[in-house]
Amino acid sequence: MRSLPTLDLAVIAVYLLAMLLVGFYFSRRNKSTEQFTKASGSIPGWALGISIYATFLSSNTFLGVPGKSFGTNWNAFVFSISMPLAAWAAAKYFVPFYRHTGEVSAYTHLEHRFGAWARTYAVICFLLTQLARMGSIFFGIALSLQALTGYSMKFIILAMGICIIIYTVLGGIEAVIWTEVVQGIIKTFGALLILYIIITNMPGGVSKIVDIGHQDNKFSLGSYLPDLKHSTFWVVLLYGFFINLNNFGMDQNYVQRYHTASSSQQAVKSIWLCVVLYVPVSLLFCVIGSSLYAYYQVHPELTEILRHQVAVERLSPGASATEIARVAAALKPEDYGDKVMPNFMVTKIPAGLVGLIVSAILSAAMSTISSGMNASATVFSEDIYKRYFKPDITDKQTMNLLHMATIVAGVAGIIAGIAMIGVKSVLDIWWQLSGIFAGGMLGLFLLGIISKQTRNHEAIIAITVGILVIIWMTLSPLLPENYGWIRNTLHQNMVIVIGTLTIFLTGIIVTRLRQKSIAASAIPLNK
């Protein structure tokens, strides 16, 4: 660890100050809930597209994808390959649907379709997903900044959280979107800068990186065998399609943005712009991970130092040098992948440029967390408070409620981030938690949209069965060995796939059985 030079600290301070000033600037316009939640439908499609791209390009991508590529291969990029198909479904079906309803919450229509329970269930799933997302992002940014500054991860999470809460509360969705436009550009530039520095410091340059990558199979997208028990190409492809369908189709972060566009055409344009930007940039982060792997292969002394640091962190204070050496020797690249980029920044990136890259990482965290806070506050206001406590709330009272709910969401995210300190992989924990919380929500949504004949009680049966399956898939691996026969052996990324299909197909089957029963009872009996 080291203290950042004054120049780097100045760059970071200027960036944070600029974000706060943006919040203050837009606070002058946030005089109504329509402005706070929808920006009065004034955002152009190109800005909205960069905003959605910046939300996707969180610190989970900035730090997690290089960490996974360093430790394994390019299997994580398969997630991005699934995006175009999910984007097509969103552009063709979801955007017209939401723009037609005009409802700022993505979940209001579920009450019209199945009843209040369905709306509340989806909101709970969404809020839990946001909690996991914000927590994992706070953790990821703290992991990086700790290596650079020496400050504790808890302090970093608290300081970051306070800054994000202030500008999100002040500026509303319009401030979030326009800061994300700037942040998306900063993040992309930061990634290119990191790759350039790695290559220029690499003996042998690009050709050496390619040689080592081919030799150690670092460019593979994963196994193509029909295996759903490990993170194969097919597992990540299925996970990516379902989670991206959930993102574009019913995640409040994205649905709320559709309403900020000046027209449906601009909203559709924003989705495709996001895909065009995110897919190649996510590949760029895989390239960064493989390049870092090659760099550390030709500098084994840096690898040993990094292993030693990780071993010290894992052991209790006062561990002997022998014990530290034993644990360090047993570590594999996937055990310390998330720490490689911060370590490289500490040792090899010159003063001044570190501040720019840290600002890029900060922007990666701030864009996603701020949008999550705003979206969480919106659904709490629309789907919980107005629905169950005070339907006739005034616009001024709603604004106060939105501000308070934003603060509560931010504090909850801070607590979740602190709770995640010590996890092995930030990308793994985010993928696992999002799959668990989003599966039921997506299955219910698809059932309501596709199966027009499904009624309330059939949806309840479907959700009940789906929740039981998701709980079994999530918790059964923790069972003792003597209960191994009832364990779920599928990869955890399959939870959202199986959970969604279980809810949807159960609803379809129960609906068909009801229709057959009605048809049979309508046939007159022969005397």
Residues in the chain: 527
Distance between CA atoms of residues 505 and 92, nearest Å: 23
Instruction: Check residue 233 and give its pLDDT.
Output: 96
Under a CB-based contact definition with an 8 Å cutoff, are residues 499 and 470 in contact? yes
How crowded is the C-beta side of 498, counted as CA atoms within 13 Å? 21
For 425, residues 6+ apart whose C-beta sits below 8 A from its C-beta are 64, 67, 68, 71, 334, 337, 338
Please state, in angstroms and as integers, the Cα–Cα distance from residue 22 to each residue in 52, 141, 178, 380, 484, following that order: 18, 22, 9, 25, 55
Distance between CA atoms of residues 32 and 331, nearest Å: 54
Residue type, 470: I
Q: Which residues pair with 261 in a beta bridge?
A: 43
Instruction: Check residue 524 and give its pLDDT.
Output: 65
Tell me the whole-structure pTM to 2 decimals.
Answer: 0.81
How crowded is the C-beta side of 117, counted as CA atoms within 13 Å? 11
Rounded average pLDDT per 10-residue block, the chain, 527 residues:
70 81 72 67 82 79 84 93 92 86 79 88 85 83 75 86 83 76 83 90 92 93 91 94 87 82 87 93 94 92 86 80 88 82 78 77 76 85 86 83 89 88 63 68 86 89 90 81 82 88 93 85 63
Under a CB-based contact definition with an 8 Å cutoff, are residues 310 and 336 in contact? yes
Distance between CA atoms of residues 339 and 207, nearest Å: 25
Residue with tokens 């949504």: 445
473: its two tokens: 């898939």
Pick from 477, 468, 420: nearest CA to 443: 468
Sign of CA dihedral 157, 159, 165, 168: negative
Under a CB-based contact definition with an 8 Å cutoff, are residues 169 and 405 in contact? no
- The one-character DSSP state at 261 is B
Under a CB-based contact definition with an 8 Å cutoff, are residues 367 and 54 in contact? yes
- The one-character DSSP state at 472 is H
Sign of CA dihedral 374, 377, 380, 385: negative
430-471 pLDDT, tens digit per residue, is 666 666 767 678 888 888 888 888 889 999 999 999 988 988
Instruction: Check residue 1 and give its pLDDT.
Output: 44
Backbone phi, then psi, for 219, in 5-degree steps?
A: -100, 5
For 180, residues 6+ apart whose C-beta sits below 8 A from its C-beta are 50, 51, 54, 55, 367, 370, 371
Distance between CA atoms of residues 72 and 66, nearest Å: 10
306: its two tokens: 């990094």
Under a CB-based contact definition with an 8 Å cutoff, are residues 288 and 66 in contact? yes
Under a CB-based contact definition with an 8 Å cutoff, are residues 221 and 413 in contact? no
203: its two tokens: 């003996």
Distance between CA atoms of residues 24 and 196, nearest Å: 36
- The one-character DSSP state at 21 is H
Classified as helix, coil or strand, 218 is coil
For 291, residues 6+ apart whose C-beta sits below 8 A from its C-beta are 195, 198, 199, 202, 209
Instruction: Check residue 41 and give its pLDDT.
Output: 67
Distance between CA atoms of residues 262 and 413, nearest Å: 31
List domains and CATH numbers for the chain. 6-299+353-420 (1.20.1730.10)
